[in-house]
Amino acid sequence: MELDQAWVSSMMENTPFNILFCDCDLNLKYANPASMKTLKTLEQYLPIRVDAMTGKSIDIFYKNPVHQRKMLSDPRNLRHTAQIEVEPEILDLVINAIYDQDKNFSGVVVNWSVITEILKLKKENEEITRLENERSEELQNKVGQILEVVNAAAQGDISEQLNVMGSDLAGQVGHALADFIANLRVKLVHLEKRVMTSIILPMRSFRLVSN
């Protein structure tokens, strides 16, 4: 048993994870070195010094300690996970019940970490994904419009208007295609006038000769 206790003690002292032990009244009884080191980085946001936290209630971490105390003091509510703000940082907590040799509830163990940067990166990645989805949807819409105009032109209908613009490749193609079709319309109008002129003038000449 002594060997087991020494092994557990060594593990708690040397683990890189932040671990806190509290009694049934949620008073802090032990903080491993990793916890103390991380808490020091948050000390300016805490109501008391880190060195004075042992024996104090973990209520200091909560904005609504009455609710948290009621929940955490009942082992039936554990395992419990939560994210709390110790402004400007955000902490992730995983809280489990501790039992003695007789299976009596004797307190809680809190595994915690600062996840502010993780949440920030997650939000940034979500924003990047959102923008990529928007660009993909916009590209699909542009390509769809271009295909409609091209298919109509292939059937001899160049009356379709193309309003695909933008600096991306699809926008450049749309702009070039719109210019091409606009120029084609102008040329067809001129061609139509020339054809009509070539038909009308001989007819007028024929009438003059006939008269």
Answer whether 91's CB lies under 8 Å from 114's CB. Answer: yes
Verify that 176 and 143 share a domain, yes or no: yes
pLDDT class for 65, splitting at 50, 70, 90?
confident
From 84, 114, 144, give the residue that closes a domain.
Answer: 114
The domain tally of the chain equals 2
Q: For residue 1, what pLDDT is reported? A: 44
From 114, 141, 166, give the residue that closes a domain.
Answer: 114
Q: What percent of the chain has pLDDT over 90?
A: 36
In this structure, is residue 127 part of a structural domain?
no
- Mean pLDDT for 7-30 is 86
pLDDT class for 192, splitting at 50, 70, 90?
low
Higher pLDDT, 81 or 201: 81
Helix H or strand E encompassing 118: helix 116-154
- Inform me whether the pLDDT recorded for 116 exceeds 90: yes
Q: For residue 120, what pLDDT is reported? A: 95
Alpha helices in 43-108 (DSSP H): 65-72
In this structure, is residue 153 part of a structural domain?
yes
Helix H or strand E encompassing 107: strand 105-114
Verify that 145 and 197 share a domain, yes or no: yes
Q: Cα dist. 142→41, 114, 132, 149 in Å?
A: 51, 44, 15, 11
In this structure, is residue 24 part of a structural domain?
yes
- Inform me whether the pLDDT recorded for 129 exceeds 60: yes
Nearest-angstrom CA–CA distance, 58 and 73: 12
Verify that 138 and 168 share a domain, yes or no: yes
Q: How many residues does the chain have?
A: 211
Put the strands of the sheet holding 105-114 in their side by side order: 28-31, 18-22, 105-114, 89-99, 80-86
Verify that 104 and 42 share a domain, yes or no: yes
Verify that 107 and 136 share a domain, yes or no: no
Verify that 28 and 88 share a domain, yes or no: yes
Higher pLDDT, 203 or 83: 83
The parent domain of residue 36 ranges over 2-114
Verify that 8 and 40 share a domain, yes or no: yes
Q: For residue 207, what pLDDT is reported? A: 52
* Mean residue pLDDT across the chain: 81
> ∠ CA 100-104-109 to the nearest 5 degrees?
60
From 55, 85, 114, give the residue that closes a domain.
Answer: 114
